[in-house]
């Protein structure tokens, strides 16, 4: 149905228009019945429906409807599977249609700057390329059902401490390369119906009133077409926010800010066209939903099975010494730990789902499995109980193998606050150590929304990173442990050995300003460049089979920045069971045009193979795959020169590589002045010849009129390497002292060279 939105807006009173720019309550947008504008509802969340009909706070003090909790982002991103994420989005979209919810408040794509962020379980990755690809797939799935998404939290919201007021201090290159791309990819590949701005300030300006962020970058640079809503209570200055590109305030302010909008229009400090445009954008999204009401049939049981499938595709096998896994039903196995019976499968806060059922691992093992259970430690607190511990040690001693279900209680990580450390509860580490004394065949299953330190990493034989698995996560764990499912997840974040290794360690958390001093060196970009030992690298994950890589083919090894380069590689299942491998493509910049990470992920594909089968995986690279953000150009810049194409099974397991040479027509503008060096001029094609002449005169003057040193002692004192280095760093102003030039002559040379550039 085509609607004339401008006509509808023209028929609204000023008060009605201002009112459309804030929520009716915590979950509903306002209606204007006389004009046929319906009341619509928005709802959390990124991994399942958290619909509340009653008014209340957004953290869920009131009960929400029974729904299906799918695996949170910390786990689902480890699938590295776009099709799977699109399917998950489609399923959630159908549930939203059935429950009359117009917009899902998700996905959340903030970068995992530190393992301490209390909300990391809701975020996809430390890598912006992976986060963007996964988010775009999820959004396309949800919106295929005419349900909107609200990608969040835009932008640089990477901690919970003082999140409503602190300022994230980051330079533009860091923002453009690390903290923006997931949002940008989502816009360009999926066009989310709405954006949610974050609470925090960015370089001293609140995201909710940051015109550069909400208009210049989001709309003008990327082409976003929907409306921007505030995070709940993120508005600082409502009129300034409206002018900057914040259309909808949620949840509203009991009319206070609506009145300020009306007053600003009346006293002409706010143009009414700005308000009209905001209302039109909001109405456009309201009708995108209202005009396509098509409740889909769904059963929660079927969606529960879909949640299990997603969890199975995403869990990461970190260690499998002596092929301790998969377990055999003939083996006597002891399950230890409260999480085996009561799994922690979601995080605390606004995304918390009221699940209609939850499956645990203990009750999901094959019917003929020989499993005994001892609680050992509780799932909800750090409490060491001698009786429970003794019982667990005895059970482990009498078994062939023991599986310890460890992890973080709800109180250890949640929205609203950050973790203070990366440790598991002490009671768990203590019991693990005691069990290892009597049972070497030990497997750890981790239930956590963010990495943990593993003091026992070298002593256990198996580790399964289950993260937070959603309501069917227990069944997924059991199926992987017993080999019914072959694990295929890969880590979407690096697991550091200890917290202090993290690049943001010295600047994360406290204060009114949070300085992003590590710049673009986040996650593996830091660890790999620094060649630092990690517990497990980004992109890592084992399988019950093995894979061989061969036949790397690159379509064009001498591309220009306008070309698309196709990269293909053959992958063979060299083991004895069917499995899936995630092939990862990294690019290494060898041009030295800027300080850059050692490698960056620029492509990935998941491929399924039966034993002995070979498939060709194909990925494409464009200019952006090679580029870094140049603040002088205000654009992405791919320098001419060599780049290495790396194909790997993780960021630290590169199997194949080939070098290409890029020819770029882009030129960084050169501003020549008295402190421009001879080296800089020698490296620029348009100033190179003049620089050679100046260098010749400078060297001649340095050597008393000769271009070479005249004695053996002089040669020892002034080596060729020293002369080369000094020349490279010699500012033009120094030619007054070392080249016999006057300052006027140097300025004339500068003027001449500047015209060439």
**Nearest alpha-carbon partner for 92 in 43, 153, 26:** 43
Q: Three-state DSSP class for 663?
A: strand
Three-state secondary structure of 104-118: ECCCECCCCCCCCCC
Given phi > 0 = left and psi -120 to 50 = alpha, else beta, which region is 156?
A: left
Catalytic: 231?
yes
Measured distance CA(548)–CA(114) in Å, rounded? 33
Provide the token pair at 193. 């119906």
Cα 567 to Cα 174, 553, 620, 690: the distances in Å are 28, 6, 6, 41
For Cα atoms 287, 292, 298, give the angle at the middle one, nearest 5 degrees. Answer: 135
The burial of 151, by beta-carbon neighbours within 10 Å (0-12 exposed, 13-18 middle, 19 or more buried), is given as buried
Provide the token pair at 694. 């100046």
Provide the token pair at 23. 């929520």
Measured distance CA(533)–CA(180) in Å, rounded? 28
DSSP, residue by residue, 560-579:
BTTPPEEEEEEEEE-SSS-E
DSSP, residue by residue, 311-339:
HHHH-EEEEEGGG--S--TTSEEEEESGG
Q: Which residues contact 348 (CB under 8 A, 6 or more apart)?
A: 410, 413, 414, 415, 416
Q: Which residues contact 95 (CB under 8 A, 6 or more apart)?
A: 48, 49, 67, 68, 298, 303
Q: Which residues contact 97 (CB under 8 A, 6 or more apart)?
A: 145, 146, 147, 293, 294, 295, 296
HSE toward the beta carbon, residue 66, CA cutoff 13 A: 8
Q: Are 406 and 337 in contact (CB under 8 A)?
A: yes
Q: Three-state DSSP class for 437?
A: helix
Q: Which residues contact 749 (CB under 8 A, 6 or more apart)?
A: 690, 694, 732, 741
Measured distance CA(36)–CA(277) in Å, rounded? 19
Q: Are 126 and 538 in contact (CB under 8 A)?
A: yes
Phi, psi of 634 (to 5 degrees): 55, 40
Provide the token pair at 616. 């060709």
In the set 81, 127, 231, 501, the catalytic residue is 231
Question: Active-site positions?
Answer: 231
């Amino acid at each position: 149905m085509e609607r004339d939105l401008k006509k509808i807006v023209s028929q609204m009173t000023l008060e009605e228009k201002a009112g459309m720019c804030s929520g009716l309550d915590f979950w509903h947008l306002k209606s204007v019945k006389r004009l046929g504008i319906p009341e619509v509802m928005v709802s959390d969340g990124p991994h399942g429906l958290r619909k509340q009909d009653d008014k209340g706070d957004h953290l869920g003090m009131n009960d929400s409807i029974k729904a299906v909790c799918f695996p949170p982002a910390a786990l689902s991103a480890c699938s590295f599977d776009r099709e799977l994420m699109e399917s998950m989005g489609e399923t959630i979209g159908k549930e939203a249609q059935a429950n009359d919810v117009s917009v899902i408040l998700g996905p959340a794509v903030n970068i995992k700057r530190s393992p301490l962020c209390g909300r990391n379980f809701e975020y996809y990755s430390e890598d912006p390329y992976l986060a963007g690809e996964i988010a775009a797939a999820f959004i396309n799935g949800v919106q295929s059902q005419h349900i909107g998404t609200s990608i969040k939290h835009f932008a640089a919201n990477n901690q919970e401490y003082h999140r409503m007021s602190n300022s994230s201090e980051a330079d533009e290159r860091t923002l453009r390369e690390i903290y923006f791309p997931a949002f940008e990819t989502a816009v360009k590949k999926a066009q989310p119906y709405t954006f949610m701005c974050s609470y925090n300030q960015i370089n001293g300006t609140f995201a909710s009133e940051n015109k550069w962020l909400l208009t210049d970058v989001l709309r003008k640079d990327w082409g976003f077409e929907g409306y921007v809503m505030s995070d709940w209570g993120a508005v600082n200055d409502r009129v300034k926010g409206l002018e900057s590109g914040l259309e909808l305030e949620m949840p509203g302010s009991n009319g206070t800010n609506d009145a300020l909008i009306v007053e600003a229009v009346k006293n002409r400090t706010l143009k009414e066209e700005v308000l009209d445009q905001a209302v039109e954008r909001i109405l456009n999204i309201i009708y995108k939903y209202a005009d396509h009401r098509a409740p889909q049939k769904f059963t929660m049981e079927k969606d529960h099975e879909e949640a299990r499938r997603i969890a199975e595709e995403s869990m990461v096998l970190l260690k499998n010494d002596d092929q301790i896994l998969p377990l055999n039903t003939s083996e006597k196995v002891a399950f230890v730990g409260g999480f085996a019976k009561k799994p922690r499968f979601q995080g605390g806060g606004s995304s918390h789902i009221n699940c209609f059922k939850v499956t645990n691992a203990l009750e999901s093992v094959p019917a003929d499995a020989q499993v005994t259970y001892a609680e050992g430690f509780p799932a909800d607190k750090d409490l060491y109980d001698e009786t429970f511990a003794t019982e667990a040690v005895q059970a482990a001693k009498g078994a062939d193998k023991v599986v310890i279900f460890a992890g973080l209680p709800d109180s250890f990580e949640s929205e609203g606050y950050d973790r203070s450390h990366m440790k598991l509860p002490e009671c768990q580490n203590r019991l693990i150590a005691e069990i290892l004394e009597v049972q070497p065949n030990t497997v750890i299953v981790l239930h956590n929304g963010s990495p943990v330190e593993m003091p026992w990493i070298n002593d256990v034989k198996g580790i399964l990173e289950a993260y937070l698995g959603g309501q069917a996560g227990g069944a997924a764990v059991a199926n992987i442990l017993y080999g019914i499912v072959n694990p295929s997840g890969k880590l979407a974040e690096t697991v550091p050995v200890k917290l202090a290794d993290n690049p943001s360690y010295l600047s994360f958390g406290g204060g009114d300003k949070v300085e992003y001093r590590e710049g673009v060196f986040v996650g593996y970009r830091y660890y790999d460049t620094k060649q630092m030992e990690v517990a497990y690298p980004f992109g890592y994950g084992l399988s019950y089979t093995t894979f061989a890589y061969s036949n790397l083919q690159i379509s064009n090894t001498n591309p220009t920045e306008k070309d698309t380069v196709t990269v293909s590689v053959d992958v063979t299942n060299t083991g004895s069971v069917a499995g899936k491998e995630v092939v990862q493509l990294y690019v290494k910049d060898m041009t030295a045009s800027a300080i850059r990470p050692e490698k960056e992920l620029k492509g990935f594909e998941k491929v399924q193979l039966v034993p002995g089968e070979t498939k060709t995986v194909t990925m494409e690279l464009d200019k952006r795959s090679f580029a870094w953000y140049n603040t002088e150009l205000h654009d992405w810049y791919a320098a001419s020169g060599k780049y290495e194409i790396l194909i790997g099974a993780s960021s630290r397991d590169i199997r194949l590589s080939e070098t290409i040479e890029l020819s770029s027509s882009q030129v960084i503008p050169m501003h020549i002045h008295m402190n421009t060096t001879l080296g800089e001029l020698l490296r620029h094609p348009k100033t190179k010849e003049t620089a050679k002449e100046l260098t010749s005169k400078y060297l001649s003057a340095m050597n008393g009129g000769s271009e070479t040193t005249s004695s053996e002692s002089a040669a020892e004192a002034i080596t060729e390497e020293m002369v080369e280095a000094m020349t490279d760093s010699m500012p033009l102003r120094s030619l007054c002292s070392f080249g016999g030039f006057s300052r006027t002559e140097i300025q004339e040379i500068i003027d001449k060279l500047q015209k060439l550039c």
